[in-house]
Amino acid sequence: MMQPAPPAPIPVSLLTGFLGSGKTTLLNALLKHEGMSDTAVIVNEFGEIGIDHLLVEQVDEGILEMSSGCLCCTIRGDLVNTLEDLLRRLDNHRIKPFARVVIETTGLADPAPILHTIMTHPYLVMRYRLSAIVTTIDAINGMSTLDEQSESVKQAAVADRLVLTKTDLLEDEDDLAPLGSRLKALNPAAPQLIAAKDEASPEKLFDAGLYHPATKSPNVQRWLNEEAYKGKNHHHDQHHHDINRHDERIEAFCLTRENPVSESAFQMFIELLQAEYGKGLLRLKGIVALREDPDHPRVIHAVQHVLHPPARLENWPDDDRRTRLVFIMRDVNKKLIADLFNAFVDPHTTQSAAIAANMDNPLSLNPGRGLLDEG
């Protein structure tokens, strides 16, 4: 008797942003949006969201259904328990089906530990997959917050979507340009959406993952947004250089390779990258052509030192068969990573590069799992 195929993983998005950046105001607006009808939202406290006017009803213990059809629940115990509990209720038909999960973080939260919770848990990683990180930025105080709070810089740097809030309070729309330019230098691939212009719809914010939500087919070009890195001047050139400036420490860039790479060499590169620069590796996205299996590319996605299980695509989504890796690094420059990558994927220098790096016991981004294993 054949086992039923496991359900497709549910995309999970994080809604983050520094204190006072308008995150909860955005969430309140989203909860009214009909595009949230198939969404489960996880918040720390119901009291933080304006549920009084959303015509809610309780559908199960600790879960409210908004007028839009969106399900809203609070974190019970910890995030693992909450995510597991949602799955149990879903599988037992105690709540209606949902197609995405949105997790609202606290204003001081580093997104990485939340993502690690999902990406390293043996059961959750089969049932959920990371889709998008959405970060709110206050148009009035955004520049000073970036200057004073290193965490806000990190939140902006790792985002897939940046939502500019409070733009309606600016005296002149042109006043937004310096902040927009700074965010573009910090994170060139993330679209900047204006909340006051209703640009921040659920589809634009949360459907930012590898797979198209309707067709379930991969959209690598949109996900990587490699074009955003072409011809990019590093932000050292756009601002007065100041070593104390938080965003001077972050660099976003793309590496490419025309020919397929050896799986073992690429795995060694990833292992050394994690062992030596794990703290500086804020985000890594990529599609990899492997010499051993060139017709089935692998998609990799890492947040700091944890790698999501690589996804094996059934075919290349288009005629572009290059290996493409997009990095967001802190305190590590592009040349160092490019030299390391070239050393490992060139078969003539792999051994010497490993010896030179004194790679005794590298900690794998994904221990015990090769890139040829299906995720």
**Span 254-273, pLDDT tens digits:** 999 999 999 999 999 988 88
Q: Quick one: pLDDT band at residue 143, thresholds 50, 70, 90? A: very high
Q: Quick one: pLDDT band at residue 188, thresholds 50, 70, 90? A: very high
| SS3 assignment, position 245 | coil
What domains does the chain contain, in order, with CATH numbers? Answer: 10-206 (3.40.50.300), 234-356 (3.30.1220.10)
- State how far the Cα of 151 lies from the Cα of 157, in Å rounded to an integer: 10
**Res 296: pLDDT:** 94
**Res 370: pLDDT:** 53
Task: Show the CA angle centred on residue 231, arms to residues 230 and 235, nearest 5°.
Answer: 105
- State how far the Cα of 192 lies from the Cα of 184, in Å rounded to an integer: 8
- State how far the Cα of 149 lies from the Cα of 163, in Å rounded to an integer: 18
Beta bridge partners of 57: 65
Residue closest to 271 by CA, chosen among 352, 356, 341, 372: 341
**Res 352: pLDDT:** 46
pTM (2 d.p.) = 0.84
- The pLDDT tens digits of the residues spanning 77-88 come to 788 999 999 999
Q: Quick one: pLDDT band at residue 192, thresholds 50, 70, 90? A: very high
